[in-house]
């Protein structure tokens, strides 16, 4: 590409004399007009009128890029850009320089200094403007289909919302049927209705649409490609019954000789009495080797569990009227393409046998809250029943968090139980009752019931009594008294933990998990965004939540996916580009990219997957060979800006600070400091960066070499970084630099990393002030000339 | 005069196939030891061109004059910017001298 | 498998049968032990209640003496074990402490159950059994100190330990699940609050009796004293016969290893194990 | 990284790369050659074979403080005047004035190219390049090498880093590429090319360095110690004609540490003084130009002072103000940063004490003196298809950075023309296999082999050359008998290379480096023997023939018979194109 000599039109937009009050505008214009490459330089008081002449000058090649100084609204910028792009000026050839946000116009600063500073800020922008290049956004085609992993309540709801949006969906489930955990519940709260009703509603929609492909008994084997264009391969286990032919008449099940007992807990027989025997009996269940899909029979076909099926039997084959039995089926693989992936792998109950003090797994009448759901279908005659909330939850030895639904679940159980057995005495042992939102109503309702006793304090011992009942000892922490009780049944509220499937998927898709194993996401702003672009996480695989929250979450995930399923993915030209002539394949960019956007190309160089990249620039920050630049914010541009900053404009003794501000938080803090009229000292200049992590040490070295007294890098607080770990990366790097400065006998505090939140304007001003004091005490930067 | 390696700081460029000093050394002298820390394999052959010192992102390398030639201990530390280089020279009496200049383009 | 054996005062006094049976069983299993010569009293629970410093100094002195031997220190009495372990952990975690007492390598402190069930291993025990105790129901009782405080136990759950059950199974006998296996026997309260002590002991013996085992097995001299020597007193309180022989785990092992009952000190038990021994084919 | 030592040749992979233009050595001349070839014909496949990493390889690895030649036409300078000056610097020649002129004509344009690529060149108030001597301009050249390297890659040259050349690939008399091996990957490389430019730099380490007496600073030399004369050696073995090898380059350097002296004396006007405080050049060498005398005089003078009992000798830096002293050190940082460290390690304040100077060990560097390949105006050597540029090309001294860059471009022009007229003959696999066997022989012998390690042989050779072929410890003096002794022992050493073994690929490289140096040394001694006169005292001091012999006012040439190994030596006449006194600038 032939390089054009930069010719810059420089326009200062003066509204209502604001600038003239703060600076010597004439002097500024005179100074700027003399600068090389500036071919037109003037003050505008109105934007509309001069536009035709600006346009004309551009077409007559008087300038080829424009620096706009002043405050412009986004609307004004857009108008100007589109007006001039009609004349052929690329929208990226405009540079916008708001000198006021850097503190020009602040009361109490000398006019001369303000003028000087304004000139410097504009010169910095000019340096940038000189290096502007015309850019075009990229358009990449995307596939209009989504993959949903896990057909629980979240998965089903996501699938139907897509379907209703007219998108193709592949729903992959490892069980034989859909519905997940919710399908195994007896009743939902707060309306105490049957969960199958709601699930059936969703299944009905799926049944009637050809936009959803449900693959049960299937697991994702691999996911390759990039957002908008994923290649999925799944492995399907055989059902031995043809999905097409089976009409679910159930003839086969009648003749099947193989009965499979469902998994049974071992119970110490010495402690069984009549009630516990009843409990055991009602929890027991069995099924035939050929049976309908579980938990919800969708697809509405049977399947055979071959490992329990006598190999020579073939009774089902004989009776099946539809000739649907296919004993020769083998596992098969399928491949399809999708634009995005939603993971809804749900949760697993905590293994209560680990909470040994409560004797789960030993005494038959100690059961989990999930088992209680089943027991409630036909509860045995129970007189006294206890519920231990937080059985292992909020406990550092087990689950060190609150599963948020267990309290309400216990209340639901009590409510329903009292309907059936009005005389039963229910004891609820709790630490705190947590019934957020409208669940409070449930709590109040249950509290008012007769014979429902709330005891704050979890039992210390659970032992079998003489009569096979359970002897419970607990402390009522309100009265400080020991309470001994004898119960027929004890229900443990086990917590929710990430499902086994979540762990498998996490490994397969390289999805980061938090300390507890739930998928990591930006919890507040984008709770459904995983840290892998194009892969969303919805429902309880993100954390404990109730059913309505899961459904909300999955709908939200569906909404977040839509941008990936558009016909094209528009990529702003702000992505990093790698200068291969400099790259030494050191791989640091690949390692540090928070979104794993880099892959090796055929020559071993890193190559960027634009669809995964979130344009944070951390690779630019980390590159030791300064070979990476963001397209619209090149390292050369920033270096030129730094070079334009004259460090001794207020005299050699007065410190000058260059601040690199993260545009998500710190920049706003600094900007609003000025808007609020806080006394921002004139000593500080800032450069806006996409993430603190994009600041390369070489730029800091440049600043120090040019005599800048202090370099402030301000990013988000720990755990708040929009790009996951940019602030951490920059901290490590500036640590290396500090060590070096120490060796060079330069105070390492000349380079500082600080965390600022968006509302930290006051803190920003205080910080800058105290930093100036510190720098004054240190004396000028030894490299300052 | 081989560069002195600060083994605490050196991370062997995270055990990449070749560390940056190894990549750059004009004499094929810098390499990684078994513990993935850089070292100079033939100290006698080093020309002290300081390419490795400039390349090290961790600041773990330092050129020293061998005692047979100069007294203990003088330091010369380059710091590389994008288009600048600064040098800090500390002589045996602790006197510090600093140099800074632009090493690439944009002199106007 | 070479340990420095610290007997402690109980094992050289009231619990001499524990010492005897251990000294007989260890070589039979192939566990080498050297009895420590210059050991000192651990201070038991008594020192701690009087002088915290003393309860540290006493084990410290033993640990210092043991350091020279460069072997793991093996304790049978859980009280000794807990006291020594506490000091050794403190020494390991606290460098100043380590330096102050000029330790180089703090000896590992181990207790018998840990050594048998984990270091030596249940499978190894199984191989050495000569006389499997078929059809014998054994009720394990751990007491409090063996597994508590739980951070000291490390390898076992303090609510539901399984080491003794596993060893019992290895001898061929049938372990009985005992919900009270980690409850307190009341031993330390015997002098100060005798009534409470006996109440605790009684609840254990009564619950044990309900499960009708052939014997109780313990690993603590104090538990043994309470359950065995005080059994008569408890029977009077409960107005109910208990008559359960209480054996040390080493004694039970000794029987299965075919060691002479006298060498195992079985003749010293208050509640006679006669019928139990007869069922295993030993006649007294 | 520990490499696996192959047990047989079969384990070694051979890579064959077909290309249009092969450039051996991606230094200054090499990068410019690549740039020129690619700009002349972008469709050309240009391949660079680089022994180190192109970003920091060769003599300019540490940087450069000046471009020693630039023609300030505004001050009335012309290419002819530059050639005249160059001729005077080598005592009136002989020099190839035709080559020098064509070089000078392209010089300014080339230097300006460097500035365009991003090299900061210091300017004076009028916007001209700032002079520090008559021809020197100051640069801030710390990044000189990376800048050139990036340009070469940017224009699309394919760079093979860490591949060292071992021999030319021949097709009869014509050169069709080169062979070598990967210093990191251990592969055998065959570059099959229509034309080849050799630009490997000069030869260092043939003589013992004066700062070499302990292992810590064996290569404390002026020239880059990794330039070992491979470029000459492959030509010598390929029967190319070599010229003026006896015109050794010996620089005057700071003592105990080969720091630059020209920077101090030329740029800052610090004169040479002796122990008595006399201005040596002014007092004793007025007749040959005093402080402006030709370089070999300026080298020989301080050494003579030492010999005659008036050492040590200095450059008098005490005349400098502290600002000037700082500027001086800044210049040094750009070229030889560790010299600044050296001064610091002596606690040496140069404004208070002068800097001691001494001679360096001798080098064969055709960018500085006339040694190297005999080339035609297209920079083609006597081997068809083989071009030479920079330090390897002979007959044209005082090229330095600017001139070598120009020559890179000129050789590329020659090569591009040549390529257009030729095709690539089929690959001679027999030759390839034979060379592969030769190359990896020290490796196959393995670390357990009872033989000679390359370092031992190198030190033996360096001491031999130092003592018998006019090294610094003999004040550069030699006579026929000593040269004969040197020759005899070089022959023995060459024979002993069959005992060389390598314990890893790095030492395999060292083994070939010492072999290459020996081949250069052999030719060098033949040249020294042939010039039975003393034309350039210091550079070439024959004690048995102390005077200038008018019959020897000619080029000394040599060709090695590839079959017998015999070296044929002969004269070529000198042609004066620019009239005037040859010894005057």
Give me the mean pLDDT over the A275-280 stretch: 81
More confident residue, D13 or A141: D13
Spatial CA neighbour of D317 closest among D352, D281, D289: D352
Rounded CA gap, A126 and A31, in Å? 13
- The per-residue pLDDT for range D228-242, each reduced to its tens digit, is 999 999 999 999 999
Rounded CA gap, A686 and A751, in Å? 14
Spatial CA neighbour of D1 closest among A482, C35, B41, A12: B41
Tell me whether the omega of the peptide bond preceding residue D94 falls within 30 degrees of 0, making it cis.
yes
Quote the DSSP letter at residue A171: E
Tell me whether the omega of the peptide bond preceding residue C146 falls within 30 degrees of 0, making it cis.
no
- Taking CA–CA distances from D219, the nearest residue in chain B reads B45
Give me the mean pLDDT over the C186-208 stretch: 91
Name every chain D residue with its beta carbon within 8 A of the beta carbon of A582.
150
Tell me what pLDDT residue D2 has. Answer: 44
Spatial CA neighbour of A472 closest among A413, A383, A386: A386
Percent of chain A with pLDDT over 90: 62
Core vs surface per residue C243-260: b (16+ CB within 10 A) or e: ebbbbbbbbbbbbbbebe
- Taking CA–CA distances from C150, the nearest residue in chain A reads A397
Could you tell me which chains touch chain D, where touching means 3 or more CB pairs under 8 A? A, B
B24, B62, B106 member nearest A640 (Cβ): B106
> How far does D188 lie from chain B, in Å, by closest CA?
17
Cα dihedral C190, C195, C199, C201 in deg (nearest 10): 20
- The per-residue pLDDT for range D117-159, each reduced to its tens digit, is 999 998 888 889 998 888 989 898 999 999 999 999 999 999 9
Only one residue has tokens 């021949």, namely D170
pLDDT over 60 at A542, yes or no: yes
Answer yes or no: are the C-beta atoms of A442 and A190 closer than 8 Å: yes
pLDDT-derived band at C29, boundaries 50, 70, 90: very high
* Angle in degrees, CA D314, D316, D320, rounded to 5: 150
Tell me what pLDDT residue A1 has. Answer: 39
B77 touches chain A (CB under 8 A): yes
The yes-or-no reply on B/A contact (3 CB pairs or more, < 8 Å) is yes
A441 touches chain C (CB under 8 A): no
- The per-residue pLDDT for range A377-417, each reduced to its tens digit, is 888 888 999 999 999 999 988 999 999 999 999 999 999 99
- Taking CA–CA distances from B93, the nearest residue in chain D reads D347
Residues 17-76, chain B, touching A (beta carbon < 8 A): 20, 23-24, 55, 57-59, 62, 75
Quote the DSSP letter at residue C225: I
Selection from A446-455, A527-536, A593-602 with the highest mean pLDDT? A446-455
Could you tell me which chains touch chain A, where touching means 3 or more CB pairs under 8 A? B, C, D
Name every residue whose Cβ is closer than 8 Å to that of residue C140 and which is 6 or more positions away in sequence.
Answer: C164, C165, C168, C175, C176, C178, C181, C216, C217
Rounded CA gap, C98 and C91, in Å? 5
Name every chain A residue with its beta carbon within 8 A of the beta carbon of D116.
none
List Cα–Cα distances, D175 to B46, D195, D424, in angstroms: 34, 7, 11
Give me the mean pLDDT over the D18-22 stretch: 96
Core vs surface per residue D327-346: b (16+ CB within 10 A) or e: bbbbbbbbbbbbbbbbbbbb
Name every residue whose Cβ is closer than 8 Å to that of residue A56 and which is 6 or more positions away in sequence.
Answer: none
- The per-residue pLDDT for range C165-182, each reduced to its tens digit, is 999 999 999 999 999 999
| CATH (residue range D430-550) | 1.20.58.100
Give me the mean pLDDT over the D221-226 stretch: 89
Only one residue has tokens 């391969």, namely A233
Contact B89 D61 (CB under 8 A): no
Inter-chain Cβ pairs, chain B and chain D, closer than 8 A:
172
Name every residue whose Cβ is closer than 8 Å to that of residue A417 and which is 6 or more positions away in sequence.
Answer: A376, A379, A382, A385, A424, A426
Contact D329 B97 (CB under 8 A): yes
3-state secondary structure of D357: strand
Domain boundary assignment for chain B: 1-64, 65-108
The neighbour count for residue A423, using CB atoms within 10 Å, is: 10
- The per-residue pLDDT for range A482-524, each reduced to its tens digit, is 999 999 999 999 999 999 999 999 999 989 899 999 998 877 8
- Taking CA–CA distances from A587, the nearest residue in chain B reads B16
Contact C179 A357 (CB under 8 A): no
Core vs surface per residue D431-449: b (16+ CB within 10 A) or e: bbeebbeebbbbbbbeeeb
Residues 124-153, chain D, touching A (beta carbon < 8 A): 149-150, 153
Tell me what pLDDT residue A525 has. Answer: 82
- The per-residue pLDDT for range C61-86, each reduced to its tens digit, is 888 888 888 889 999 998 899 889 88
H/E element, A659: strand A657-662
Catalytic-residue membership of B87:
no
- Taking CA–CA distances from A637, the nearest residue in chain B reads B82
C159 touches chain A (CB under 8 A): yes
- The per-residue pLDDT for range A199-248, each reduced to its tens digit, is 999 999 999 899 999 999 999 999 988 888 899 999 999 999 998 899 98
The yes-or-no reply on B/C contact (3 CB pairs or more, < 8 Å) is no
Tell me what pLDDT residue D423 has. Answer: 92
Q: How many CA atoms lie within 13 A of D68 on its CB side?
A: 17
Rounded CA gap, A734 and A255, in Å? 74
Domain boundary assignment for chain A: 1-136, 138-237+331-350+498-570, 241-294+301-327, 365-494, 572-785
Rounded CA gap, C245 and C216, in Å? 6
> How far does B93 lie from chain A, in Å, by closest CA?
14
| CATH (residue range B1-64) | 3.30.70.20
Which has the minimum average pLDDT: A278-287, A569-578, A596-605, B40-49? A278-287
pLDDT over 60 at B108, yes or no: no
- The per-residue pLDDT for range A61-98, each reduced to its tens digit, is 899 999 999 999 999 999 999 989 998 999 999 999 99
Dihedral sign for Cα A510, A512, A517, A523, please: negative
Best of A127, A702, A779, A780 to disrupt the B interface by mutation (most B CBs within 10 Å)?
A702
| CATH architecture for segment(s) A1-136 | 3-Layer(aba) Sandwich (3.40)
pLDDT over 70 at A439, yes or no: yes
Average pLDDT, chain C: 89
Best of C157, C179, C181, C209 to disrupt the A interface by mutation (most A CBs within 10 Å)?
C179
Tell me what pLDDT residue A2 has. Answer: 46
Q: Domain D12-248+363-420 is classified in which CATH homologous superfamily?
A: FAD/NAD(P)-binding domain (3.50.50.60)
What are the structural domains, with CATH classification, of chain C? 2-111 (1.20.1050.140), 122-279 (3.40.50.11810)
- The per-residue pLDDT for range A312-327, each reduced to its tens digit, is 888 999 999 999 999 9
> How far does A144 lie from chain C, in Å, by closest CA?
53
Answer yes or no: are the C-beta atoms of A681 and A733 closer than 8 Å: no
Q: Compute φ and ψ for D420, nearest 5 degrees.
A: -60, -25
Name every chain A residue with its beta carbon within 8 A of the beta carbon of C177.
268, 270, 362
Name every chain D residue with its beta carbon within 8 A of the beta carbon of B18.
1, 184
pLDDT over 90 at A21, yes or no: no
3-state secondary structure of C40: coil
Answer yes or no: are the C-beta atoms of A659 and A644 closer than 8 Å: no
The yes-or-no reply on D/C contact (3 CB pairs or more, < 8 Å) is no
Write the Ramachandran bin of A58: left for phi over 0, alpha for psi from -120 to 50, otherwise beta.
alpha
pLDDT-derived band at D215, boundaries 50, 70, 90: low
A605 touches chain B (CB under 8 A): no
A581 touches chain D (CB under 8 A): yes
Contact A463 C177 (CB under 8 A): no
pLDDT-derived band at B107, boundaries 50, 70, 90: very low
Rounded CA gap, A776 and A754, in Å? 19
Tell me what pLDDT residue B1 has. Answer: 64
- Taking CA–CA distances from A462, the nearest residue in chain C reads C179
pLDDT over 60 at A627, yes or no: yes
The neighbour count for residue A387, using CB atoms within 10 Å, is: 27
Tell me what pLDDT residue A735 has. Answer: 82
> How far does A637 lie from chain B, in Å, by closest CA?
11
pLDDT over 90 at C95, yes or no: no
Domain A365-494 has CATH 3.50.50.60: yes
- Taking CA–CA distances from A467, the nearest residue in chain C reads C210
Residues 18-47, chain B, touching D (beta carbon < 8 A): 18, 22-29, 31-32, 34, 41-47
Answer yes or no: are the C-beta atoms of D264 and D355 closer than 8 Å: yes
- The per-residue pLDDT for range D292-305, each reduced to its tens digit, is 888 899 999 999 99
Name every residue whose Cβ is closer than 8 Å to that of residue A144 and which is 6 or more positions away in sequence.
Answer: A167, A168, A339, A565, A567
Rounded CA gap, A253 and D17, in Å? 71
pLDDT-derived band at C152, boundaries 50, 70, 90: low
Rounded CA gap, A42 and A67, in Å? 11
Best of C148, C174, C177, C209 to disrupt the A interface by mutation (most A CBs within 10 Å)?
C177
Contact B86 A591 (CB under 8 A): no
Name every residue whose Cβ is closer than 8 Å to that of residue C163 and which is 6 or more positions away in sequence.
Answer: C113, C114, C116, C117, C118, C156
pLDDT-derived band at D1, boundaries 50, 70, 90: very low
> How far does D97 lie from chain B, in Å, by closest CA?
34
Spatial CA neighbour of D396 closest among D413, D411, D417: D411
pLDDT-derived band at A581, boundaries 50, 70, 90: confident
pLDDT over 60 at A266, yes or no: no
Tell me what pLDDT residue A269 has. Answer: 66
Name every residue whose Cβ is closer than 8 Å to that of residue A540 and which is 6 or more positions away in sequence.
Answer: A152, A154, A181, A346, A347, A496, A550
Answer yes or no: are the C-beta atoms of A603 and A178 closer than 8 Å: no
Give me the mean pLDDT over the D542-553 stretch: 94
B55, B76, B101 member nearest D341 (Cβ): B76
Only one residue has tokens 């024979």, namely D495
Tokens of B8: 């605490």
Strand blocks (E) in D127-186:
137-141, 158-160, 163-171, 174-182
Selecting among B26, B28, B45, B47, the annotated active-site residue is B47
3-state secondary structure of A421: coil
Tell me what pLDDT residue D5 has. Answer: 75
Average pLDDT, chain A: 90
Spatial CA neighbour of D509 closest among B42, A584, B33: B42
Rounded CA gap, A490 and A427, in Å? 9
Percent of chain A with pLDDT over 70: 98
Spatial CA neighbour of A347 closest among A148, A591, A539, A614: A539
Alpha helices, H only, D118-227: 144-154
Tell me what pLDDT residue C248 has. Answer: 95
> How far does B16 lie from chain A, in Å, by closest CA?
7
Angle between helices C231-238 and C194-210 (to 10 degrees): 80
Give me the mean pLDDT over the C105-129 stretch: 90
Per DSSP, the residues of C124-169 read: HHHHH-SS--TT-EEEE--TTTTT-SHHHH-SS-SSS--HHHHHHH
Rounded CA gap, A460 and C15, in Å? 32
Q: CATH number for D252-359: choose from 1.10.150.120, 3.30.920.30, 3.90.700.10, 3.60.110.10.
A: 3.90.700.10
Could you tell me which chains touch chain B, where touching means 3 or more CB pairs under 8 A? A, D
Which has the minimum average pLDDT: A44-58, C143-157, D48-62? C143-157
Domain A138-237+331-350+498-570 has CATH 2.40.50.180: no
D239 touches chain A (CB under 8 A): no
């Amino acid at each position: 590409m032939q390089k054009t000599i930069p010719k810059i039109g420089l326009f200062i937009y003066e509204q209502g004399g604001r600038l003239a009050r703060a600076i010597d505008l004439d002097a500024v214009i005179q100074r700027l007009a003399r600068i090389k490459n500036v071919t037109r330089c003037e003050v505008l008081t109105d934007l509309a009128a001069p536009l035709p002449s600006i346009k004309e000058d551009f077409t007559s090649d008087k300038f080829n890029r424009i620096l706009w100084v002043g405050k412009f609204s986004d609307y004004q910028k857009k108008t100007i850009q589109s007006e001039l792009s009609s004349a052929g000026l690329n929208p990226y050839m405009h540079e916008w320089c708001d000198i006021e946000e850097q503190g020009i116009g602040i009361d109490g600063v000398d006019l001369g200094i303000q003028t000087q500073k304004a000139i410097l800020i504009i010169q910095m922008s000019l340096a940038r403007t000189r290096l502007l290049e015309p850019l075009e956004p990229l358009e990449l085609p995307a596939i209009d289909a989504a993959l949903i992993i896990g057909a629980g309540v979240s998965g089903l709801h996501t699938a139907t919302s897509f379907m209703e949006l007219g998108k193709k969906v592949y729903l992959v489930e490892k069980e034989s049927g859909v519905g997940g955990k919710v399908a195994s519940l007896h009743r939902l709260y707060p309306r105490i209705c049957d969960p199958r009703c709601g699930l059936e509603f969703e299944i009905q929609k799926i049944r009637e649409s050809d936009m959803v492909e449900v693959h049960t008994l299937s697991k994702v084997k691999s996911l390759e490609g990039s957002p908008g264009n994923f290649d999925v391969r799944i492995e399907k286990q055989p059902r031995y019954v043809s999905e097409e032919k089976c009409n679910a008449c159930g003839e086969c099940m009648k003749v099947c000789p193989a009965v499979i007992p469902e998994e049974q807990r071992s119970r110490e027989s010495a402690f069984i009495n009549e009630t516990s025997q009843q409990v055991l009996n009602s929890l027991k269940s069995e099924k035939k080797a050929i049976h309908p899909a579980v938990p919800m029979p969708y697809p509405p076909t049977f399947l055979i569990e071959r490992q329990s099926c006598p190999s020579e039997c073939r009774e089902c084959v004989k009776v099946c009227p539809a000739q649907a039995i296919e004993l020769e089926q083998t596992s098969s693989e399928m491949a399809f393409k999708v634009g995005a992936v939603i993971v809804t792998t749900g949760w697993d109950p905590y293994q209560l046998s680990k909470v040994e003090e409560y004797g789960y797994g030993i005494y038959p009448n100690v059961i989990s809250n999930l088992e209680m759901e089943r027991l409630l279908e036909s509860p045995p005659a129970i007189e006294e029943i206890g519920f231990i909330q937080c059985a292992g939850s909020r406990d550092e030895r087990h689950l060190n968090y609150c599963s948020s639904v267990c309290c309400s679940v216990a209340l639901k159980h009590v409510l329903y139980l009292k309907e059936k057995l009005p005389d039963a005495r229910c004891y609820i042992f709790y630490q705190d009752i947590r019934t957020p939102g409208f669940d409070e109503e449930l709590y109040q309702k249950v509290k008012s019931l007769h014979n429902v006793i709330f005891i704050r304090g979890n039992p210390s011992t659970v032992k079998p009594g003489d009569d096979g009942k359970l002897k419970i000892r607990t402390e009522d922490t309100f009265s400080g008294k020991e309470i001994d009780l004898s119960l027929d049944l004890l229900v443990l509220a086990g917590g929710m933990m990430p499902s086994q499937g979540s762990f498998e998927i996490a490994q397969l898709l390289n999805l980061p998990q938090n300390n507890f194993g739930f998928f990591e996401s930006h919890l507040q702003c984008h709770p459904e965004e995983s840290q892998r672009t194009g892969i969303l996480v919805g429902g309880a695989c993100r954390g404990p939540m109730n059913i309505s929250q899961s459904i909300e979450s999955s709908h939200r995930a569906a909404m977040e996916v839509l941008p990936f399923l558009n016909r094209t993915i528009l990529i702003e030209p702000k992505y990093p580009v790698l200068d291969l002539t400099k790259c030494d394949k050191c791989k640091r960019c690949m390692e540090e990219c928070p979104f794993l956007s880099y892959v090796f190309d055929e020559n071993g160089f890193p190559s960027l997957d634009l669809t995964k990249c979130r344009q944070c620039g951390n690779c630019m920050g980390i590159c030791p060979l300064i070979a990476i630049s963001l397209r619209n914010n090149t390292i050369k541009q920033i270096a030129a800006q730094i070079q334009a900053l004259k460090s001794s404009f207020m005299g050699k003794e007065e410190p000058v600070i260059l601040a690199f501000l993260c545009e998500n938080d710190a920049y706003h803090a600094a900007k609003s400091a000025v808007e609020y009229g806080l006394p921002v000292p004139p000593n500080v200049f800032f450069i806006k960066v996409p993430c603190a992590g994009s600041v390369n040490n070489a730029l800091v070295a440049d600043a120090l070499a040019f005599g800048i007294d202090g370099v402030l890098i301000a990013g988000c607080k720990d755990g708040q970084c929009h790009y996951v770990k940019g602030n951490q990366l920059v901290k490590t790097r500036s640590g290396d630099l500090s060590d070096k400065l120490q060796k060079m006998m330069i105070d390492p505090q000349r380079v500082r990393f600080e965390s600022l939140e968006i509302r930290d304007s006051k803190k920003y001003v205080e910080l800058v002030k105290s930093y100036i004091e510190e720098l004054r005490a240190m004396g000028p930067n030894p490299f300052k000339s | 005069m081989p560069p002195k390696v600060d083994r605490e700081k050196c991370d062997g460029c995270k055990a990449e196939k070749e560390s940056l000093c190894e990549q750059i050394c004009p004499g094929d002298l810098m390499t990684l030891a078994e513990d993935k820390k850089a070292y100079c394999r033939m100290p006698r052959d080093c020309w002290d061109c300081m390419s490795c010192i400039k390349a090290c992102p961790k600041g773990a390398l330092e050129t020293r004059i061998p005692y047979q030639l100069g007294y203990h201990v003088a330091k010369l530390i380059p710091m590389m910017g994008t288009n600048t280089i600064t040098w800090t020279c500390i002589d045996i009496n602790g006197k510090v001298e600093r140099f800074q200049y632009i090493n690439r383009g944009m002199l106007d | 498998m070479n340990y420095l054996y610290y007997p402690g005062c109980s094992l050289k006094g009231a619990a001499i049968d524990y010492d005897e049976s251990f000294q007989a069983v260890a070589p039979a299993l192939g566990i080498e032990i050297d009895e420590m010569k210059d050991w000192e009293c651990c201070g038991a629970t008594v020192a701690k209640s009087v002088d915290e410093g003393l309860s540290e100094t006493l084990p410290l002195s033993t640990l210092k003496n043991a350091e020279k031997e460069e072997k793991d220190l093996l304790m049978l009495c859980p009280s000794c074990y807990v006291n020594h372990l506490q000091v050794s952990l403190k020494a390991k975690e606290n460098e100043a402490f380590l330096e102050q007492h000029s330790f180089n390598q703090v000896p590992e402190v181990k207790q018998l159950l840990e050594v048998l069930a984990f270091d030596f291993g249940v499978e190894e025990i199984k191989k050495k059994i000569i006389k499997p105790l078929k059809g014998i129901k054994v009720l394990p009782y751990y007491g409090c100190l063996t597994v508590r405080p739980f951070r000291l136990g490390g390898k076992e759950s303090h609510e539901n330990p399984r080491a003794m059950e596993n060893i019992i199974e290895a001898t061929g006998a049938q372990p009985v699940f005992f919900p009270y296996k980690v409850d307190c026997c009341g031993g330390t309260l015997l002098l100060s609050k005798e009534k409470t002590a006996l109440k605790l002991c009684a609840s254990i013996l009564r619950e044990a009796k309900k499960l009708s085992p052939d014997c109780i097995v313990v690993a603590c001299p104090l538990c043994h004293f309470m359950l065995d020597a005080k059994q008569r007193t408890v029977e009077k309180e409960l107005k109910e016969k208990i008559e359960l022989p209480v054996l040390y785990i080493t004694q039970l092992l000794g029987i299965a290893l075919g060691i002479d009952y006298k060498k195992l000190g079985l003749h010293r038990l208050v509640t006679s194990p006669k019928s139990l021994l007869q069922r295993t084919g030993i006649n007294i | 990284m520990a490499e696996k030592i192959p047990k047989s040749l079969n384990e070694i992979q051979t890579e064959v790369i077909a290309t249009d233009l092969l450039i051996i050595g991606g230094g200054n001349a090499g990068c410019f050659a690549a740039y020129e070839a690619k700009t002349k014909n972008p469709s050309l496949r240009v391949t660079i074979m680089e022994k180190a990493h192109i970003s920091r390889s060769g003599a300019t690895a540490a940087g450069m403080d000046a471009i020693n030649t630039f023609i300030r036409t505004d001050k009335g300078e012309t290419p002819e005047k530059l050639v005249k000056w160059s001729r005077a610097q080598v005592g009136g020649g002989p020099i190839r004035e035709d080559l020098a002129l064509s070089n000078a004509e392209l010089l300014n344009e080339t230097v300006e190219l460097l500035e365009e690529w991003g090299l900061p060149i210091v300017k004076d108030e009028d916007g001209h390049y700032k002079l520090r001597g008559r021809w020197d301009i100051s640069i801030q050249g710390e990044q000189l090498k990376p800048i050139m390297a990036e340009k070469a890659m940017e224009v699309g040259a394919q760079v093979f880093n860490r591949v060292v050349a071992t021999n030319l690939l021949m097709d009869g008399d014509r050169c069709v590429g080169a062979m070598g091996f990967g210093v990191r990957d251990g592969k055998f490389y065959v570059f099959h090319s229509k034309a080849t430019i050799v630009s490997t730099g000069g030869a260092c380490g043939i003589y013992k360095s004066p700062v070499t007496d302990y292992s810590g600073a064996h290569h404390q030399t002026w020239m880059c110690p990794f330039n070992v004369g491979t470029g000459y050696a492959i030509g010598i073995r390929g029967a190319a004609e070599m010229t003026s090898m006896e015109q050794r380059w010996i620089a005057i350097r700071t003592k105990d540490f080969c720091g630059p002296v020209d920077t101090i004396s030329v740029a800052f006007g610090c004169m040479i003084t002796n122990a008595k405080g006399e201005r040596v050049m002014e007092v004793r060498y007025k007749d040959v130009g005093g402080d402006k005398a030709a370089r070999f005089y300026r080298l020989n003078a301080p050494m003579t002072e030492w010999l005659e009992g008036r050492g040590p000798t200095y450059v008098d830096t005490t005349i400098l103000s502290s600002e000037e002293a700082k500027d001086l050190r800044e210049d040094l940082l750009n070229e030889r940063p560790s010299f600044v460290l050296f001064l610091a390690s002596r606690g040496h304040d140069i404004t208070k004490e002068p800097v001691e100077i001494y001679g360096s060990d001798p080098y064969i560097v055709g960018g500085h003196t006339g040694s190297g390949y005999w080339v035609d105006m297209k920079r083609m050597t006597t081997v068809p298809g083989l071009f030479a540029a920079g330090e390897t090309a002979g007959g044209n001294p005082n090229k330095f950075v600017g001139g070598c860059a120009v020559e890179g471009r000129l050789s590329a022009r020659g090569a591009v023309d040549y390529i257009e007229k030729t095709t690539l003959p089929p690959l001679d696999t027999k030759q390839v296999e034979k060379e592969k066997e030769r190359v990896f022989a020290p490796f196959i012998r393995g670390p357990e082999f009872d033989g000679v390690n390359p370092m031992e042989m190198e030190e033996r050779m360096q001491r031999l050359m130092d003592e018998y072929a006019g090294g610094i410890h003999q004040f550069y003096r030699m006579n026929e008998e000593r040269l004969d002794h040197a020759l005899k022992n070089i022959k023995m050493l060459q024979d002993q290379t069959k005992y060389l073994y390598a314990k890893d690929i790095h030492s395999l490289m060292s083994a070939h480096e010492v072999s290459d140096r020996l081949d250069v040394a052999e030719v060098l001694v033949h040249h020294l023997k042939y010039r039975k006169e003393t034309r350039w005292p210091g550079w070439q001091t024959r004690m048995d023939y102390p005077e200038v012999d008018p019959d020897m006012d000619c080029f000394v040439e040599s060709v090695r018979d590839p079959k017998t190994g015999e070296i044929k030596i002969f004269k070529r006449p000198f042609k004066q194109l620019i009239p005037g006194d040859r010894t005057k600038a």
